[in-house]
Structure 1
Amino acid sequence: MNQISRSILDLLRRLFVTLLALIVFWWGLLPEIALAQTQVAPPQETKTQTPPVQNSIQPYLDRVIKQLTEFRLDNGLKFLVLERHQAPVVSFLTYANVGGVDEPDGKTGVAHFLEHLAFKGTTRIGTQDYKAEKPLLERLQQLDTQIKAAKADGKKDEVAQLETEFKQVESQAGKLVKQNELGQIVEQAGGVGLNANTSTEATRYFYSFPANKLELWMSLESERFLDPVIRREFYKEKDVILEERRLRVENSPIGQMVEKFIDTAYKVHPYKRPVIGYDQDIRNLTPDDVQNFFDTHYVPSNLAIAIVGDVNPAEVKKLAQTYFGRYKAKTKAVEQIPVEPPQKQTQEVTLQLPSQPWYLEGYHRPAVTHPDNATYEIIGSLLSDGRTSRLYKSLVEKQRLALNAQGFSGFPGDKYPNLMLFYALTAPGHTVDELAVALRQEIDKLKTEPVAAIDLERVKTQARAGLLRTLDSNMGMAQQLLEYEVKTGSWRNLFKQLDDISAVTTADIQRVAKETFTPGNRTIGKLLSKEG
């Protein structure tokens, strides 16, 4: 193969991998990101020096313990405050312990919808005159209900009349909206990175400010969830979300494949549902549905906030009590998540669409809190972490069956038992069945051949270094602290995970591989090319 051909193939690999990564991220399958419409440039933060990888993470943990203050308000809202005085910058992350898995049946997509509406403002922000705007928003909801009823009864003339009035009222309400006022306030005050994401199990709101804007953040963020206007631009935002779904699912072969694959792998657990929601569910959502979801789940005891940067913990606590102390304590919703039964036989789904052929293979694994979590992470690194991984070296470089081959744990989330997913894009002239055989050979080696000490040490170093790199930035640290605080019960488990990685043995890998990579625990997805 000449150099030009190699360059073209390499470009194709990067393009297709980027495509799948975007689909998977957007779906919430890695921590799935459904970006809010309001965003500004990413924060420029001074990074702290990553500690050298060593036998114990204890010295680093000791420094964090010394610099971290945690407290809970009387209403139940938890704060983690980490002092980092290297630069006059502070990152803020509000973590709502609610996502796609918490949605009622028939109302999928409501968590993501709410995240979008959280950028529309309050009774004071985002409006020219809320007293004039409020009755218009209420009338829009009434008209929408009437339109649906008239359509159901087949009253075409009435539908046309109601839709005309709807457009008129929506135009009147729109004139009272101050577009993106929250974003403008943040940007004018020097804030950066205003954004949010919704995943299967959490919704995160975040941005960074200069250190002297701490009280402004307290004011903006507390009011945002104390006094949101759910109805503002509700129907326009619904159209935006439906278009997102059309783009990422209906008009995307790999998007359709991912949706079918999840639905095949899970029988009862809500991981089977897409975070974006099903088309019909999104269409039927009302402002009351979103408001009820907000009232149920955005209670103080279900929220946690991390503040990392150049701050004084005593000042943070005082301001938090002033601003967030206004929230009334409410009973947290009781989780009613059905337990996925053990899979007993191979599940398979095949789609034939105009697309490059893809092969997906997943295996059920336990939640992030399981004692073997670090072993699963090491297995994932061995098989599919970069160009030194076994799948890449075998399927791509040696056998040239695939343009790329990768995988990861935590699909589509990790709070509950989830999947270890592997996927590969076929190289020209090869089939998904060839990929399946070759991929499985590499997986089976973990069961029969002890991993060489040098290989195990390499992936341990990569895994530990990778996790530590995420802690370099204020925002990365804020996110990781909250992920472990909420999902495992303590932020300290973030550092325990680093020691757990070091403790993984070759015997652990063989044991877990034998337990996990069985035919009965396997789900297969085949996206086949369809001409025309």
Structure 2
Amino acid sequence: MTQLNRYILLYQHLTTQSSQNGWHFWKENRRISLIFPHFPLPTLHSLLSLLLGIAIWATIPSIAFAQTNAPTSIQPYLDRVIQQITEFRLDNGLKFIVLERHEAPVVSFVTYTDVGGADEPDGKTGVAHFLEHLAFKGTTIIGTKDYKAEKPLLDRLDQLSTQIKAAKKAENQIEVAKLQAEFTKLEAQAASLVNQNEFGQIVQQAGGVGLNAQTSADATIYFYSFPANKLELWMSLESDRFLDPVFREFYKEQQVILEERRMRTDNSPIGKMIEAFLDKAFQTHPYRRPVIGYDEDIRNLTRADVQQFFETHYVPSKLTIAIVGDVNPAEVKKLAQTYFGDYKAKPAPPGVTLVEPPQQQTKEVTLKLSSQPWYLEGYHRPSIKDKDRVVYDIIGSLLSDGRTSRLYKSLVQEKQIALSATGTSGFPGDKYPNLILLYALTAPGHTLDELATALHSEIERLKTEPVTKEELDRVKTQARAGLLRSLDSNMGMARNLVEYQVKTGDWRNLFNELEAINAVTTADIQRVSQATFTPENRTIGRILSNE
């Protein structure tokens, strides 16, 4: 596929009115974002998952979540889904997973890049997240009015940035001012050649919704949905994003990311604590570092650093693409070969080889901040590949998932010593051994010692008292419902398929989860709890109020 052909295809879509339905979906998506602008991401995800749950009853009316034979009751549905999945791998190593769903003329696309914050070199933290930002800036065709004129300006800006840093280090203020004046002038000239957000505009005008990306410690994921008749446009846009990227507006995004860090970490008590907590809990593994990066690292990153990281890690064999919706797998394969076939194969870099040594004693970190006191505890647990992964997730749910969890009922409702008590299992990622993290916010008039005592009491109960069948069944029901909700939408299915493919080696493992959940016993809960919740495996975090 030549650049000229790509340009012709893009031009055709840019000059064609998008469908009324596509425009309607985009408006509704925008309306939701306006209604919930200040919701934390996890809260909004939970809310949207709840709304999605309503729809599942229309497609799987026979599910009986409260019954122990629930996995059997929906197995025919899962079998039908599996039969509708096609997978293939291009010669360059790029893998596609395609699920046909013809109920509506829409398709969801997820490009899963098996590289995240854990893969960054020391001193370059935040580069994976930085690259995610720049992946929306376009190519030599998209996002520019005249790339031939733009390129020398971008190169000169890089030179000036290096010179400015050197002059600042030498404390030559006159030279800094001179170089900065030239930098500002050239940056304005480069900006005048940019077609702002053209990538997003193309997607929007063609009826696309949900254009976004996210970077975690484990991966970087790009995703959005299109009307079914825009399959080829997606192929063109997504392949160009990786075959012909231009990392323009680098210095503008650098300031955006620094502000993001200030908001989420530097000016957030719990953000500061999480960063310090991970640094304490992990001695050697890169899970100890923040995905957004350290402030100094972000400031010192260069466009060359991003380019090198991209060329090293964004190789075809590290990418897995899931396409779920109203598509023909044969057409997908043909178009994939046309648009992604030119993506040159390269040796994949080694993954993270550092292994976190077993923790030998309790670790503690305390911060004095302008905040109501918080109490945190974390315990090391195995990765998603471990045979007990579902047991760990069930334990996390028993302790900290929602208002029916043990911590909430004990600390918040009964003792009223906490305003909130919750947690998560698989933090900050689950590709490698990670943490079960539990945390609570003190209620006025109560202390962190009270929280610690109450939390330990609930942990000891798991170790010494078998969980009742009724409580275990309730948590299993919640786990099954959560999994099934995620499978009900095209996007949820696509994200799950690629994640299980990359992290466990086979997307089929996704469809074994219900059986695995059902197989968890009270003895499993007690066995894993006794092995995990030990003083030597514990990390404690405390936020003390400095007011």
TM-score normalised by L of structure 2 = 0.89
Counterpart position of 1:332: 348
Counterpart position of 1:87: 104
Counterpart position of 2:212: 195
Counterpart position of 1:365: 381
Instruction: Check the 8 A contact 2:71/2:514 in 1, yes or no.
Output: no
User: Counterparts in 2 of 1:129-168, with a 5 A limit?
Assistant: 129-168=146-185
Give the Cα–Cα distance (whole angstroms) in 1 for the partners of residues 43 and 279 of structure 2. 17
Give the Cα–Cα distance (whole angstroms) in 2 for the partners of residues 423 and 24 of structure 1. 15
What displacement does 1:23 show? 8.3
For residue 49 of structure 1, the aligned residue among 52, 55, 59 is: 59
User: Counterparts in 2 of 1:162-311, with a 5 A limit?
Assistant: 162-230=179-247, 232-311=248-327
Give the Cα–Cα distance (whole angstroms) in 1 for the partners of residues 79 and 269 of structure 2. 49
Per-residue deviation, residues 26-54 of structure 1 (Å, max 9, x unmatched): 9xxx99xxxxxxxxxx99x9867246141
Q: Is 2:435 the counterpart of 1:419?
A: yes
Q: 1:455 to 1:24 in 2, by over 3 A?
A: closer
* 453-462 vs 415-424, greater mean Cα deviation: 453-462
What displacement does 1:58 show? 3.5
Give the Cα–Cα distance (whole angstroms) in 2 for the partners of residues 23 and 69 of structure 1. 32
Aligned length: 499
Q: 1:167 to 1:185 in 2, by over 3 A?
A: same
Give the Cα–Cα distance (whole angstroms) in 2 for the partners of residues 390 and 158 of structure 1. 62
What displacement does 1:388 show? 1.0
What displacement does 1:223 show? 0.4
For residue 138 of structure 2, the aligned residue among 118, 121, 133 is: 121
State percent identity of aligned pairs.
Answer: 71
Give the Cα–Cα distance (whole angstroms) in 2 for the partners of residues 315 and 527 of structure 1. 56
Instruction: Check the 8 A contact 2:381/2:436 in 1, yes or no.
Output: yes
Counterpart position of 1:453: 469
Give the Cα–Cα distance (whole angstroms) in 1 for the partners of residues 205 and 523 of structure 2. 56
Give the Cα–Cα distance (whole angstroms) in 2 for the partners of residues 474 and 226 of structure 1. 26
Give the Cα–Cα distance (whole angstroms) in 1 for the partners of residues 467 and 272 of structure 2. 36
Q: Is 2:543 the counterpart of 1:527?
A: yes
Runs of 4+ in 1 over 3 A off after TM superposition: 18-26, 45-48
Instruction: Check the 8 A contact 2:377/2:540 in 1, yes or no.
Output: yes
For residue 390 of structure 1, the aligned residue among 406, 424, 445 is: 406
Give the Cα–Cα distance (whole angstroms) in 1 for the partners of residues 202 and 71 of structure 2. 46
Q: Is 2:120 the counterpart of 1:100?
A: no
Per-residue deviation, residues 278-307 of structure 1 (Å, max 9, x unmatched): 000000000110000000000000000000
Counterpart position of 1:36: none
Give the Cα–Cα distance (whole angstroms) in 1 for the partners of residues 77 and 459 of structure 2. 35
**Residue identity opposite 1:211 in structure 2:** A
* 454-463 vs 109-118, greater mean Cα deviation: 454-463
What displacement does 1:19 show? 13
Q: 1:462 to 1:449 in 2, by over 3 A?
A: same
What displacement does 1:383 show? 1.1
SS at match of 1:361: strand
What displacement does 1:152 show? 1.6
Instruction: Check the 8 A contact 1:102/1:337 in 2, yes or no.
Output: no
Counterpart position of 2:10: none
Give the Cα–Cα distance (whole angstroms) in 2 for the partners of residues 350 and 446 of structure 1. 27
Give the Cα–Cα distance (whole angstroms) in 1 for the partners of residues 517 and 352 of structure 2. 32
SS at match of 1:137: helix
For residue 493 of structure 1, the aligned residue among 464, 488, 509 is: 509
What displacement does 1:24 show? 7.8
SS at match of 1:112: helix
What displacement does 1:384 show? 1.2
Counterpart position of 2:9: none
What displacement does 1:21 show? 9.1
Give the Cα–Cα distance (whole angstroms) in 2 for the partners of residues 419 and 59 of structure 1. 35
For residue 432 of structure 1, the aligned residue among 448, 473, 480 is: 448
Q: Is 2:73 the counterpart of 1:63?
A: no
Give the Cα–Cα distance (whole angstroms) in 2 for the partners of residues 291 and 391 of structure 1. 46
**Residue identity opposite 1:137 in structure 2:** L
Give the Cα–Cα distance (whole angstroms) in 1 for the partners of residues 372 and 475 of structure 2. 31
Counterpart position of 1:406: 422
What displacement does 1:469 show? 0.6
Q: Is 2:336 the counterpart of 1:320?
A: yes
Counterpart position of 1:12: none
Q: 1:25 to 1:198 in 2, by over 3 A?
A: farther
SS at match of 1:92: strand
Per-residue deviation, residues 123-173 of structure 1 (Å, max 9, x unmatched): 000000000000000000011111111122222111110000000000000
Give the Cα–Cα distance (whole angstroms) in 2 for the partners of residues 176 and 461 of structure 1. 55
Counterpart position of 2:26: none
Q: Is 2:377 the counterpart of 1:377?
A: no
Give the Cα–Cα distance (whole angstroms) in 1 for the partners of residues 467 and 59 of structure 2. 32
Q: 1:414 to 1:19 in 2, by over 3 A?
A: farther
Give the Cα–Cα distance (whole angstroms) in 2 for the partners of residues 456 and 331 of structure 1. 46
Instruction: Check the 8 A contact 2:118/2:352 in 1, yes or no.
Output: no
Give the Cα–Cα distance (whole angstroms) in 2 for the partners of residues 339 and 25 of structure 1. 32
Q: What are the ranges of 5 or more consecutive residues in structure 1 without an aligned counterpart?
A: 1-17, 32-41
What displacement does 1:337 show? 2.9
Per-residue deviation, residues 501-527 of structure 1 (Å, max 9, x unmatched): 100011101000000000000000001
Q: 1:335 to 1:368 in 2, by over 3 A?
A: same
Counterpart position of 1:38: none
SS at match of 2:507: coil
Give the Cα–Cα distance (whole angstroms) in 1 for the partners of residues 274 and 330 of structure 2. 47
Counterpart position of 1:75: 92
What displacement does 1:61 show? 2.9
